[in-house]
Amino acid sequence: MSSHTIALIPGDGVGPEVIAEAKKVLEAVGRVAGIRWEWREFPFGAQHFLDTGAAASDAELDEVAKTEAILFGAVGDSRVPERETQAGCILKMRFRFDQYANLRPCKLYPGVDGPLRDREPRDIDFLVVRENSEDFYIGLGDHFKGDRYLGKLSLKRRLYSADLDMRIEVNPPQEMAFQVGAMTARGAERVARYAFELARKKGLRRVTAVDKANVLTEIYDPWRSSVSKVALDYPEIELEFVLVDALAMFFVRRPEWYQVVLAPNLFGDVLSDLGAGLIGGMGMAPGGNINPEGGPSLFEPIHGSAPDIRGKGIANPVAAILAGKMMLEELGEGMAAQLVDRAVADVLASRQVRTPDLGGHASTSQMGDAIATRVLALGNR
C-alpha cells in the first residue's frame, strides 16, 4: 500500500465539477492498485481573491509546498481581472515551485472524432514539452500613450542571478507598447534535457525543437545552441529544428511524424492548443507543470474555467481525469496510470457515454462514473 498527499485546487467555473470526477477516478484506481490518498483542499481562485485580496497567498503556498503534487481545476471569473487570478495563482505556483517544464500530451483516442478524418488514432500521439518560465512570459513590458517616455525599467523578477534593465525613448512622442522576451542558456538546457529524458524513457526516437530563429535571432540562437548541446548526450535520439509557422502546418498535414515537440514558452502555448484541436478539443487535453528536480508539480485540464457552462453539468471531465493519470506517472504509480488510460480508452471507444462536446448527451458526472466503473472492472480482473 502506497500513500500520497495531494493538494487539491478545484478553482473557478467548471474546475470544481471536473476535478470532482478526476478525484473519483483516482479514488477508484487507489482501491484496486493499493494507493491511499490524502487530499488537502485549497480555495484558490476568484472568490478567494474577493474574500482575501489574494488569489493564493504566500502562506498558503507554504502549505502547498508540503504536498507531493497539485491537482488543479481552473481559475477565471468575470468578477475579477484575469491577471489577478492567472498571475496570482497558476503563474505564481509555476514560479514558486520552479515548474519549468510544461508537458501536454496530444493523443487521439479511439472513438473520438478529430477534425482530420483521414487519420487513425495511432497517427496522432505526441508530446509537447514547453519551456515554462522564460521567453515572452517574464512580465517585462509597458504601454504608454506618448505624453512621456519610458525611462529605466527593471525586470519584475530576477532571471536566476541576473537583473535586466532597459530604456526606450520615442521621438516624436506617440502611443507605443512593447513586450520583451528573455532566454538563458540554463533555462533552455534544462528543459531540453527534460524533453530528451522523456523521449528516452518512453522509447521514442525523435525530438522536434521549435523556434523562429530566422527572424528572432537574438533570443532563439542561444535556444538552438543549448538544445543542440544537450542532444549530444542522446545519440540514439534524432534532433530536428522546425520553424514554428511551418510546424503549425505540419501538425495538420503529417501529425504522425511527431513524437516529442520541444518549444519555447510562447510557441509551446500556441502549438499545444493546436494539438488539443487535433485530438477532439480542450475537453480531451491534460497538462502538467513539472519540476523534474522535486517539489510539487501541478496537473490540470488546459480548458480553463469555461464560465459559460458552469453549473450545467456538461463539461467534459476527461482532460482532468487524464491530468490525474499524468500525476500518477509523476508519482511513480505507472501501473495505476496505465489502468486509468485503458479505462478512458475503453469508455471512449464504446461511444456509449459521451459529453456534448463529443457529440453525446452524458453529464460530467456520468462520464466520470463510467470511467471509474471501468477502472474497477479492469482492476478486479
Cα maximum dimension of the chain: 76
The crossing angle, in degrees rounded to 10, of helices 15-33 and 334-350 is: 120
125, 212, 229, 357: which one is catalytic?
212
Name the pairing type of β-strands 101-107 and 286-290. Answer: antiparallel
Q: Is 245 a catalytic residue?
A: yes
Contact 89, 45 (CB under 8 A): yes
Q: Is 58 a catalytic residue?
A: no
Q: Which amino acid is at 297?
A: S
Q: Is 273 a catalytic residue?
A: yes
Q: 3-class secondary structure for 39-86?
A: EEECCCCHHHHHHHCCCCCHHHHHHHCCCCEEEEEECCCCCCCHHHHH
State the cell numbers at 369: 462514473
113, 149, 245, 312: which one is catalytic?
245
Name the pairing type of β-strands 125-131 and 2-11. Answer: unpaired
> Which residue's C-alpha cell is 474574500?
51
Contact 297, 99 (CB under 8 A): yes
Q: Is 137 a catalytic residue?
A: yes
Cα(252)–Cα(49) distance, integer angstroms: 40
Q: Which amino acid is at 288?
A: G
24, 92, 100, 137: which one is catalytic?
137
Q: Which residues pair with 154 in a beta bridge?
A: 165
Please list the active-site residues.
137, 212, 245, 269, 273
